[in-house]
Amino acid sequence: MKAWRLHDKEKLTLDELPSQSVGEGCVKIKTLACGISLTDVLMYEGKLAPGSLPVIIGRQCVGMVTETGENVTGLVRGDRVAADPFVSCKTCAPCKNGRADECEKMLCCGLNDNGFMSDFTVAPAGVFYKLPDRISDTDGVFLEHIALSINAVGKLGLDKGEHIVIVGANALGIILAQVALYYQAVPILVDTAADNLALAESLGVYYTVNSVDADSMIKIFSLTGGRMSETVAFVSTSHMSFGRCLDYAAVGGRVAVVGRSQISDEMAGSFNTVLDKQLKVAGVNNGAKLFPAAINLLANRTVDVSKLISCEVKFGDVENSVREHAENIGRFVKAVVRP
Ligand SMILES: [Zn+2]
């Protein structure tokens, strides 16, 4: 099999690996589409450390089952599936108490375990979720963001009619805003990239704030009737500042840091605001086990990802595309690789 493996900072190569046998409880899939995520780009730049090297990149994958091992039920050859990259251990206390997303030994494929940027992948059947025909191969790549957004909204305890200021209008931020709308909350999306904000508006996110040309504090003050926002979500893979996002929260507000990233030192200064405003801050880095809910929101078009694919990349061009992302992070919403 052929796989894109990161060996070191800026050293991403297409390697020929021996084909894996399909053991008990496992399935083999042929990759149909795989998203290039900001996590992939940050690892390539050496800004986010993977568990070990080399590692196959790629966390957001749709494939077709080509082979099933013994004792696999529910999946057969020819099924189209999406991969949940977060694999919980099933043995730690949170796992045993039904909180798999807080697993103490969580594996994330493409970060601290091999991902899916390969022509074929063998993995436990439990990683894969069958896709309905209504969801295309490329749209399925966004399920990981949708599952993460559902988890973030849950962790924030977002209620009907509440505001949620979302800082960072990348693919994850725009999807989180759409999920918040589904929960009948009022998303306010903040970014400095006018193109991304316009894209979000075209997808039904009415309140956007460009923090370059508007005084974002005044605008959010006005949109929230002077109360500021009950909840704030900071998209950690965005280029926005964490400290500023806390200013948008009401006293006693709830804040979530959403996604995987290396958090920079500038956050240290933010703890004064956390104390001054007695904020409740949660970290949410996965949407483990929420794929069935995410598939539902995508299949019934509650979340519309149709405009979020900025380019399709040939399998052989992954390294070029990841490097281009690193050089110009704002230009891409989502690149999808089609082998
Ligand atoms: Zn666990």
Q: Running DSSP on this structure, what letter comes out for residue 184?
A: T
Cα–ligand 1 centroid distance for 101 (angstroms): 8
C-alpha 259 to ligand 1 mean position (Å): 19
Name residues with Cβ closer than 5 Å to ligand 1, which is an ion: 88-89, 92, 95, 103
Domain contains 136: yes
Quick check: is 303 in a domain?
no
CA distance 181 to 185: 5
Whether residues 220 and 244 fall in one domain:
yes
Cα 92 to ligand 1 centroid, rounded to whole Å: 4
In-domain check, residue 301: no
Q: Which two tokens stand for residue 225?
A: 């009737």
For residue 234, the enclosing domain spans 148-284
In a shared domain, residues 78 and 58: yes
Distance between Cα 170 and ligand 1 center (Å)? 30
Do residues 164 and 267 both lie within one domain?
yes
Least Cα distance to 82 among 36, 136, 45, 39 occurs for: 136
CATH number for the domain that contains residue 258: 3.40.50.720
Distance 240 CA to ligand 1 centre (A): 32
Q: How far is the CA of 88 from the centre of ligand 1 (A)?
A: 5
Whether residue 171 lies inside any domain: the answer is: yes
**Whether residues 252 and 214 fall in one domain:** yes
CA 116 – ligand 1 centroid, Å: 22
Hey, is 108 helix, strand or coil?
Answer: strand
User: Is residue 7 located within the same domain as residue 111?
Assistant: yes
Structure pTM? 0.94
Domain contains 206: yes
Domain boundary among 249, 268, 284: 284
Q: Looking at the domain assignment, is residue 117 inside a domain?
A: yes
- Verify that 104 and 162 share a domain, yes or no: no
CA–centroid distance for 32 within its chain? 19
Same domain, residue pair 51 and 166: no
* φ, ψ dihedrals at 318, nearest 5°: -60, -45
The answer to whether position 236 is within a domain reads: yes
Together in a domain, 113 and 220: no
164/132 same-domain check: no
Report how far ligand 1's centroid is from the alpha carbon of 204 (Å).
37
Instruction: For residues 56 and 72, state if they share a domain.
Output: yes
Q: Tell me the CATH number at 127.
A: 3.90.180.10
- Nearest in space to 318 (alpha carbons), one of 28, 107, 4, 26: 4
In-domain check, residue 185 = yes
For the chain, what is the domain count? 2
Residues 49 and 113 in one domain: yes
Residues 262 and 321 in one domain: no
Would you give per-residue pLDDT tens digits along the chain (339 residues)?
Answer: 999 999 999 999 999 999 999 999 999 999 999 999 988 999 999 988 888 999 999 999 999 999 999 999 999 999 999 999 999 999 999 999 999 989 999 999 999 999 999 999 999 999 999 999 999 999 999 999 999 999 999 999 999 999 999 999 999 999 999 999 999 999 999 999 999 999 999 999 999 999 987 799 999 999 999 999 999 999 988 888 888 889 999 999 999 999 876 666 566 667 778 878 888 988 898 998 899 999 999 999 999 998 999 899 999 999 999 999 999 877 778 999 998
Report how far ligand 1's centroid is from the alpha carbon of 50 (Å).
19
